[in-house]
Structure 1
Amino acid sequence: MDALTLTLLTTGLLLIAALAAYAWNLWRRVWANQRARDEAQQERQQRLGGDLHILASSLLDEQLPLIEGAIRIKVLLDNYDSTLSNDSRCQVFHVLFEATADVPTHAAWKALDKSERRRFEKRFNELELQHKAAARIAARWLLDEGLKGPQASA
């Protein structure tokens, strides 16, 4: 083998080794990013689960208005676990959410005149009378069983 061939072969092997090392470094970054993403997702799920636990407990202890609690629980459930959110035992949260979807919030609520506010408050009272027992049962189920499922341990 002459010197040129040996030089080209050595250069080629060094280039392959350098590219392999670079590829390995890139894969390590990908794996680290994936691990970080998984940890962030797990922390998010734990945070949402804790928030759902607090809301369901507050709803049962009547520290939170039924309508507001149901809306908040529904939104968090959608983000926590769509399968759990769509469970028939949580349907009451969806019903209350949809029944109040047209109610103005925040500044728009404050801008309503008193008669409009009273009309909405009357509807809230009717909805509460109609769905309070079901909402309490659903909140109790969430605390006792729903939030202890596969997502809660993930």
Structure 2
Amino acid sequence: MLIWISLIIGVLVVAGLSVYAGVLLSRLRQQNRGIAKNQKKRLNYLHESIETIAKAMQQDQCPLSEGCIRIAVLLDNLPQAERHNFTERWPSIHEMYERIKHMPTHEARKEFPKKEIRKMDLERERFEVELEQPIKDDLQTLVIWVKEERVKQR
């Protein structure tokens, strides 16, 4: 009799643990789907932002220097950025970024004397003239790449 009671209790414990494991597994799958959905959404946002900025730069609606800073940062935020070798793929965009990333923006500009700000602006404008055509060439291949990546994502 004691054996039967122990066997029934054992079966009930195993059944209870199985149900609990099933509930946990279901929650894990749901959580993983949510994570994948959010990652896809973020990736789409990054690609869309890169494409929008690149097209604005091509149409002279965005200064090349500002666009290069924004695009370089967005590219660095893409998953597996190192693997894609963005610096080598679009060297002019990254060269502009490297040349001007030290320059203050927004509120930080107000902390510098106007003479110093003007000097930095002239330097930045000189870089824009010097790198204009190579950057525009990079933008063409960048826009094509982003469109291809967005198609892959679907």
- Give the TM-score normalised by the residue count of structure 2: 0.91
Aligned residue number for residue 24 of structure 1: 22
In the alignment, structure 1 residue 103 sits paired with structure 2 residue 103: yes
> In structure 2, which of residues 49, 52, 55 is the aligned counterpart of residue 51 of structure 1?
49
Q: Which runs of 4+ in 1 moved over 4 A?
A: none
In the alignment, structure 1 residue 15 sits paired with structure 2 residue 2: no
Counterpart secondary structure, 1:80: coil
- Separation in 1 of the partners of 2:47 and 2:59? 18
- Separation in 1 of the partners of 2:129 and 2:62? 15
1:72-113 Cα distance to aligned partner (Å, 9 max, x none):
011111112514452523122221111112211221202222
State the identity as a percent: 28
Does structure 2 conserve the Cα–Cα contact (< 8 Å) formed by 1:90 and 1:138? yes
Identify if the C-alpha distance between structure 1 residues 85 and 50 changes in structure 2 by more than 3 Å, giving closer, same or farther.
farther
Q: How many residues were matched structurally? A: 151
Q: CA deviation at 1:149?
A: 3.4
In the alignment, structure 1 residue 73 sits paired with structure 2 residue 71: yes
- Separation in 2 of the partners of 1:91 and 1:99? 12
- Separation in 1 of the partners of 2:123 and 2:35? 43
Identify if the C-alpha distance between structure 1 residues 138 and 34 changes in structure 2 by more than 3 Å, giving closer, same or farther.
same
- Separation in 1 of the partners of 2:85 and 2:105? 23
Counterpart secondary structure, 2:101: coil
In the alignment, structure 1 residue 133 sits paired with structure 2 residue 122: no
Does structure 1 conserve the Cα–Cα contact (< 8 Å) formed by 2:87 and 2:94? no
- Give the TM-score normalised by the residue count of structure 1: 0.91
- Separation in 2 of the partners of 1:48 and 1:118? 32
Aligned residue number for residue 117 of structure 1: 117
Does structure 1 conserve the Cα–Cα contact (< 8 Å) formed by 2:69 and 2:101? no
Does structure 2 conserve the Cα–Cα contact (< 8 Å) formed by 1:92 and 1:134? yes
Identify if the C-alpha distance between structure 1 residues 73 and 62 changes in structure 2 by more than 3 Å, giving closer, same or farther.
same
The one-letter code sitting in structure 1 at the alignment partner of 2:133 is A
